[in-house]
């Protein structure tokens, strides 16, 4: 693993506390510590977006949705490799996310190996 990758932060944005805890726990198994945020607003206000090497975000959230968050980050010229995890994303949503630069679009419940592989790849890129 590239050293540069390890210094970069993984951020989790999900309004569900159980999901945040589960994702954080999963990343810990490969030695990554992640910061969690309960909303897109919280993430944008934190200023952490500039150090974030990989963003894992839910699509449906109260307030700013995952897709809107991605658009806002793009507008700030802050292109973070983003993995969307959603309960039932349709194809349209998926295409929109991927076109806007998302690296992956996973459906809950997702495959843990797949997610970890993508996170690793995102941090190394």
Partner 1 sequence: MKVLSNLQRYGLALISSGLALVLAWPIDAPSSCFLLAVTVSSLFGGLGPGLLSVALSALSFEYFFLWRTFPPTHETAGFLRFLVFVIATLLITALMEIKRRVEESRTRAQEALRLAQSDLAHVNRVTTMGELTASLAHEVNQPIAAAVTDANTCLRWLTRDQPDLEEAREAASRTVKDATRAAEIVSRIRLTFTKSTPQRELVDVNEIIREMIVLLRNEASRCSISVRTELVPHLPRVIGDRVQLQQVMMNLMINAIDAMKNVEGTRELVIKSQRAEDEQLVLAVSDTGVGLPPQQADQIFNAFFTTKRHGTGMGLRISRSIVESHGGRLWAAENSPRGASFYLTLPTKLEAHE
Stretch in the footprint of partner 1 (CB under 8 A) among 5-13, 17-25, 76-84, 117-125: 17-25
Q: Is residue 43 within 8 Å of 20, Cβ to Cβ?
A: no
64, 80, 97, 122: residue in contact with partner 1 (rule CB under 8 A): 64
Q: Is 16 in the site for partner 1 (CB under 8 A)?
A: yes
Q: Is 22 in the site for partner 1 (CB under 8 A)?
A: yes
Q: Is 26 in the site for partner 1 (CB under 8 A)?
A: yes
Residues with Cβ within 8 Å of residue 91, at least 6 apart in sequence: none
65, 72, 101, 121: residue in contact with partner 1 (rule CB under 8 A): 65
The CB-of-115 to partner 1 minimum distance in angstroms stands at 8
Give the residue with the Cβ less far from partner 1, 25 or 95: 25
Report the distance separating Cα 45 and Cα 23, nearest Å.
21
Q: Is 23 in the site for partner 1 (CB under 8 A)?
A: yes
Eight-class DSSP state of 38: S
Q: Is 110 in the site for partner 1 (CB under 8 A)?
A: yes
H-helix or E-strand spanning residue 41: helix 40-46
Residue 58: C-alpha distances to residues 3, 4, 5, 73, 125 (Å): 28, 26, 23, 15, 22
* Tokens at 91, concatenated: 């194809």
Task: Using CB under 8 A, list all residues that contact partner 1.
Answer: 15-16, 18-19, 21-23, 25-26, 28-29, 60-65, 68, 87-88, 108-110, 112
């Amino acid at each position: 693993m590239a050293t540069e990758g390890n210094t970069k932060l993984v951020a989790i944005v999900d309004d569900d506390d159980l999901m945040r805890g589960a994702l954080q726990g999963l990343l810990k198994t490969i030695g990554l510590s992640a910061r969690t945020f309960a909303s897109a607003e919280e993430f944008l206000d934190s200023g952490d977006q500039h150090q974030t090497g990989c963003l894992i975000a839910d699509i449906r959230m109260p307030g700013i949705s995952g897709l809107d968050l991605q658009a806002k980050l793009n507008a700030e010229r802050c292109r973070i490799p983003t993995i969307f995890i959603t309960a039932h994303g349709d194809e349209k949503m998926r295409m929109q996310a991927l076109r806007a630069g998302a690296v992956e679009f996973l459906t809950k419940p997702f495959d843990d190996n797949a997610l970890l592989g993508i996170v690793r790849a995102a941090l190394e890129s």
